[in-house]
Amino acid sequence: MCGIAGKIFTDPGRPVNRTTIERMVRTLAHRGPDGEGIFAEGAAMLGHRRLSVIDLSNRAAQPMVSANGRYVIVFNGEIYNFGEIGSELRRRGTEFRSNSDTEVLLEAFATWGPECLGRLAGMFAFAVWDRRERVLFAARDRVGKKPLFYRATPDAFWFASEAKAILADPDVPRTVSLEAIHHYLTYQCVPAPFCAFEGLKKLPPAHFLEVRQGEVRTSRYWRLQFAPKWDVSRRSKVIELQDRLVGAVREAVRLRLVSDVPLGAFLSGGVDSSSIVALMAQEAGRTVRTFSIRFEESGFDESAFARRVAERWGTDHTELTVRPEAASVLPRLAWHYDEPFADSSAVPTYYVSRLAREHVTVALNGDGGDELFGGYERYIANDLARAYRLLPSALRGRLTAFAARLPRGGSVNSPTYAFAKFLEIANNDPFTTNLLMLCYFDNGMKASLFEPEVARRLEGLDSYELLRARVAAGDAVDVRDRAMCGDVELYLPDDLLVKVDIASMAHGLEARSPLLDHRVMEIAARIPPEHKVLGPMTKRLFKAAFRRLLPWRVRHRRKKGFGVPIERWLGHELRPLAEELLLGERARARGYFAPASVRRLFDDHLEKRRNNSYRIWALMMLELWHRTWIDPPIAPEAPAS
């Protein structure tokens, strides 16, 4: 697990300034605290910061040159089946100088070229420079665990694990992309290929690119298939599928236990992380270290369930309590995330990562379980909306009018709030209903929020179409499958995986996700949707498959999101900060939003007319991003928390 960066001039006679690549690489020191390496040859420079996990010797250092001398690689991630691929390459005559997955990946590319991607099981973002043909090849893993930013001009090409490394080059301007901000307000993150900085892009998951003579071409090499469905016509077939699933997850866990440094797990007390910890306890052959976060607010605290699982499997368990003063870390998060990022669970993820890093270098987690196996309650709501739309229009009209009179100022987790929101959006088509349950600011809210001139510049841009196009490109048919497909295509890679990658790598901690092994994902996608979500039940098949490993109360508890109690914090400890960030002169001077609209948003929340806590949080993080990355001339390091 590392940080990578590079710059290549189109003109082969124009050398890259070594000071530039050194500055780029050193902005990524938090991702790789164990070493630094630079390859410089004419117009091409590649840099690397190393977090040593597999083969701690200098033989595994990067940038690494292939045995034939033609290719140079910088690589961030882990190839979990590198032993299997290495054995195949040895049979073909390849001799290895190290025991690292980096060298296996490099020689696999030298042997098979881009086709090697189909053989890889892991998380990765890597770049290979072809010294003979002067072609750069870069790729990102199937689901988007590891990030890759890039910038292309007629004269040069830059790439890096984080945008800040590209911005470290003084030749790169810092200009806000209004289109990216427009999408951010809908999705609480900036979805790929967009970037908050004009001129920068993100390589989407499951894509590779080639840069040849200044021309950039991207291609997709994998897509999750939701058909054909598994045969579950008989009870014996269902049990067979459950066994297949447990076996695949067990193998994914076993591969992710390979490490030359201490290893543990995040344990929230939910079904997904608890299942991973159970399998770790069975496969590791030693006591597992587990880490969790607790809150003083009972509606957000899951620590009792985490402790129950820890006791069941005899883990060495450590907890940390997150209190309102933890929000002092927000400026530091704005630096680490590079782009505006409004998922409030970044706060506890940052702290649990810091806690884990005090004891281990690698931590497994349960990421992906909700999106793959149907864990979100909005999947239930979207399914119910299908039945709701069959009601007579007159009845639906009366219910909509009733919903308009329901209070919206309570907790977003309250039944009244959920019922009111459901009635408000359920008349839409299935896609829009699902999206409105997911998004922060809908189109109407954004239209009233932006200043008229900004709204004019954004006219014609449709954030909804981003998700619609991604779902339409797949083969999901059922409304539940289409919702899960959308989450795998956008919410998972652009929000959840970004959150974990940045929060963990801020502390030099490697996070591994067994449920996102592509072979597990391919099994999950083909499970009939009624075996995931049916009526009020979520994750039906997954919970049944792992029933022997999980305490009954863990399997049958209601899901809680891994967020922070921002509703209460904004009304108390965070109120002064929120008012200054949203209503202060610096924010008003940016000219994005109509001050009266922002004031109304804030007042409606404080006076409990409408719960706008997550929208306020999104605007706060946007303003903090501006102050960190746009206002100052440079941001060489993270501010103190």
3-state secondary structure 396-423: HHHHHHHHHHCCECCCCCCHHHHHHHHH
Concatenating the DSSP letter of every residue in 248-278 gives HHHHHHHHTT--SS-EEEE--SSHHHHHHHH
CATH 3.40.50.620 domain position(s) in the chain = 235-374+499-556
Asked if residue 436 lies in contact with residue 382, where contact means CB atoms within 8 angstroms, the answer is no
CB 619 within 8 A of CB 581: yes
In angstroms, rounded to a whole number, what is the distance separating the alpha carbons of residues 106 and 210?
16
The answer to whether 82 and 104 are in contact (CB under 8 A) is yes
Residue 279 in this model has a pLDDT that exceeds 80: yes
What span, in angstroms and rounded, lies between the C-alpha atoms of 399 and 420? 10
The share of the chain scoring above pLDDT 70, in percent, equals 96
- 2-220 under CATH 1.10.1740.10, yes or no: no
Place of tokens 């030693």: 286
- The pLDDT value recorded for residue 634 is 60
Contact 495, 371 (CB under 8 A): no
Please, which residues have CB within 8 angstroms of residue 15's CB and are 6 or more apart in sequence?
9, 42, 43
Q: What is the rounded CA–CA span in Å between residue 102 and residue 95?
A: 14
The answer on pLDDT for 636 being more than 70 is: no
Contact by Cβ (8 Å): 102, 73: yes
pLDDT for residue 406: 72
pLDDT tens by residue, 44-70: 999 999 999 988 899 999 999 999 999
Q: Are 609 and 409 in contact (CB under 8 A)?
A: yes
Instruction: Please check whether residue 543 is in contact with residue 390, taking contact to mean a CB–CB distance below 8 angstroms.
Output: no
List b or e across 242-269, with b for residues whose CB sees 16 or more CB atoms inside 10 angstroms.
Answer: beebbebbbbbbbbbbbebeebbbbbbb
Q: What is the mean pLDDT of residues 74-82?
A: 97
Question: Pick the residue with more confidence: 567 or 507?
Answer: 507
Beta strands in 240-343 (DSSP E): 263-266, 289-295, 316-322
Sequence ranges of the chain with CATH classification 3.60.20.10: 2-220
Q: What is 235-374+499-556's CATH topology?
A: Rossmann fold (3.40.50)
Packing angle of the helix pair 393-405, 415-425 (nearest 10 deg) = 140
Q: What is the pLDDT of residues 552-584, one digit of tens each?
A: 888 877 766 666 778 888 888 889 999 999 999
CA dist., res. 283 & res. 280, Å (int) = 5
Q: Is 346 in contact with 503 (CB distance < 8 Å)?
A: yes
Phi and psi angles of residue 467, each rounded to the nearest 5 degrees, phi first: -75, -40
Query: What single letter denotes the amino acid at residue 493?
Result: P
Instruction: Please give the angle made by the CA atoms of 267, 563 and 605, to the nearest 5 degrees.
Output: 165
Bridge-based pairing state of the strands 64-65 and 122-130: unpaired
191 three-state secondary structure:
coil
Task: Report pLDDT digits (tens) over 351-404.
Answer: 999 999 999 999 999 999 999 999 998 898 888 888 888 888 888 888 878 877
Each residue's pLDDT tens digit, 287-335: 999 999 887 766 666 788 899 999 999 999 999 887 767 678 899 999 9
Instruction: Assess contact for 602 and 579: CB atoms under 8 A.
Output: yes
What is d(CA 551, CA 275) in angstroms, rounded to the nearest whole number?
10
How large a percentage of the chain has pLDDT more than 90?
76
Residue 641 has pLDDT above 60, yes or no: no
Q: Residue 630 CA to chain centroid, in angstroms?
A: 24
**What is residue 321's predicted lDDT score, i.e. its pLDDT?**
86
Buried b (16+ CB within 10 A) or exposed e, 579-589: eebbeeeebee
Looking at residue 362, the DSSP 8-state letter turns out to be E
Task: Specify which residues 219 forms β-bridges with.
Answer: 208
Task: Tell how strand 135-140 and strand 122-130 pair up.
Answer: antiparallel
